[in-house]
Amino acid sequence: MTQPRSHIASMAAYALARTEVPDGKPLVSLSQNESLRGPSPKAVDAASKAASAAALYPDPDWSGLRQALAAHHRIDAGAILCGNGSLDLIGCLARVYASPARAVLAPAHAYPFFKTASQMADARFDTAPERDARVDVNALLSAVRPDTGLVFVANPGNPTGTRIPKADLIALREGLRGDILLVIDEAYGEFADHLHERCFDMVADGNTVILRTFSKAYGLAGFRVGWGYFPAAIAAELRKVMNPNNLSGAAQAAAIAAIADQAYMAETCRLTAKHRDRAVDLLQGAGFKTLPSFTNFILIDLHTSKAVQSVDAALRAEGIVLRPQGGAGLPQMLRMTVGPEKAMRAAIDILTAWKKEAQF
Ligand SMILES: Cc1ncc(COP(=O)(O)O)c(C=O)c1O
């Protein structure tokens, strides 16, 4: 029988959230950090209009989308590349810049796809300890080895929810060798934009990339639109490994309309923060420990992996799925996406009842 390449044979596929629930129970997912509400109606309208052009290949240069992003963020349209979700861009970056001779480094509780992308490139994946689920720049710099070629950090982090001040990112960049690519993944950036300084200017050094997505605050996870801000030389290499028609016309049209409707996105962020902070109050009131979050999810510290399994089972029995975090090296933590109010209330009621009965 034909054999796959050995590094592919030995790796596991990326584990998405498990969504099995008992027969007859409607699935309520608070597991994938999707938006608590649908996209802007203007994005839906633009996508449905674009669907009539589906016989044609989409714009391979994402021209309208790049212009819209550049105008909104006051950045250079020519330095933007779009991906089929930011997952696509993370995979392409690893394909170009990681290899058996160029290892990848990330914080201990980083977004697990960074590891998967490294494995796909047959690169060693190193981690550096975090402090209280916060990225520790000094620990990352101490973990750099002679063959380190690529460093991934997410800001804010997933699943930690914590954020890295820009001054720390600058210190990280300044402490890294010039031949190491630094990728700053800002998938949750819109939820924290009011709190921290923009980092797009860091790309000017030629060795730093910023990634963003429409999957979170813009509520377009199903359309798969990610994008990044790249030094020209890196963008040119990435183009070689990208699917040349990676984003459907409907997805591009939806994203352009979503950017134009900033009021809708800002309201999504406002509602998310309101429901998140209310949920944190309720959870803490019920005796749960939560981590500070600058995102659309809450990380609940249940102290043991057995407690996570127990509460996960109690929630699943009612059709509610949260996300245990063993995959990110936090087996004692359960992550709850800030979803629709009714779903959040149902989940918190079960968690509270569990806490009263639990032996943990
Ligand atoms: C930190 C981080 N980066 C990237 C992604 C992938 O996002 P996309 O839907 O754009 O592929 C996620 C999704 O949860 C994420 O949490």
Q: Is it the case that residue 114 has pLDDT exceeding 90?
A: yes
Mean pLDDT within 334-339: 98
Mean per-residue pLDDT of the chain:
96
Distance from Cα 83 to the centre of ligand 1, integer Å: 11
Indicate the pTM of the whole model: 0.97
Q: Is the CB of 210 under 6 A from ligand 1?
A: no
Distance from Cα 2 to the centre of ligand 1, integer Å: 33
Mutate to test the pocket of ligand 1, among 30, 31, 84, 86 (most ligand atoms within 8 A of CB): 86
Rounded Cα–Cα distance for residues 286 and 197 (Å): 35
Residue nearest to atom 16 of ligand 1 (CA): 158
Distance from Cα 215 to the centre of ligand 1, integer Å: 7
How sure is the predictor about 357, in pLDDT bands with cuts at 50, 70 and 90? confident
| Nearest to 297, CA basis, from 200, 205, 216 | 216
Q: What is the pLDDT of residue 147?
A: 98
Distance from Cα 230 to the centre of ligand 1, integer Å: 18
Pairing of strands 28-29, 320-321: parallel
Q: What is the pLDDT of residue 359?
A: 66
Rounded Cα–Cα distance for residues 103 and 120 (Å): 12
Residue nearest to atom 7 of ligand 1 (CA): 86
Q: What is the pLDDT of residue 282?
A: 97
Q: What is the pLDDT of residue 242?
A: 97
> What is the atom index within ligand 1 of the atom nearest the CA of 221?
9
CATH class of 6-30+263-357: alpha beta
What angle do the packed helices 262-285 and 249-260 form, to 10 degrees? Answer: 80
> What is the atom index within ligand 1 of the atom nearest the CA of 87?
11
Does CATH number 3.40.640.10 belong to domain 43-261? yes
Q: Give 10's Cβ-side CA count (13 Å radius).
A: 8
Q: How confident is the model over 12-21, as pLDDT tens digits?
A: 999 888 888 8
Q: How confident is the model over 266-284, as pLDDT tens digits?
A: 999 999 999 999 999 999 9
Q: Is the CB of 185 under 6 A from ligand 1?
A: yes
Q: What is the pLDDT of residue 345?
A: 95
Residue nearest to atom 15 of ligand 1 (CA): 187
How sure is the predictor about 346, in pLDDT bands with cuts at 50, 70 and 90? very high
- Name the residue with tokens 């212009």: 67
Q: What is the pLDDT of residue 195?
A: 76
Q: Is the CB of 33 under 6 A from ligand 1?
A: yes
Q: What is the pLDDT of residue 330?
A: 95
Domain with CATH 3.40.640.10 in the chain: 43-261
Q: What is the pLDDT of residue 144?
A: 98
> What is the atom index within ligand 1 of the atom nearest the CA of 32?
14
DSSP code of residue 67: H
- Report the DSSP beta bridge partners of residue 169: none
Domain with CATH 3.90.1150.10 in the chain: 6-30+263-357
Mutate to test the pocket of ligand 1, among 14, 111, 191 (most ligand atoms within 8 A of CB): 111
Please check whether residue 186 is in contact with residue 216, taking contact to mean a CB–CB distance below 8 angstroms: no
Distance from Cα 341 to the centre of ligand 1, integer Å: 23
Distance from Cα 263 to the centre of ligand 1, integer Å: 23
Q: How confident is the model over 305-336, as pLDDT tens digits?
A: 999 999 999 999 999 999 999 999 999 999 99
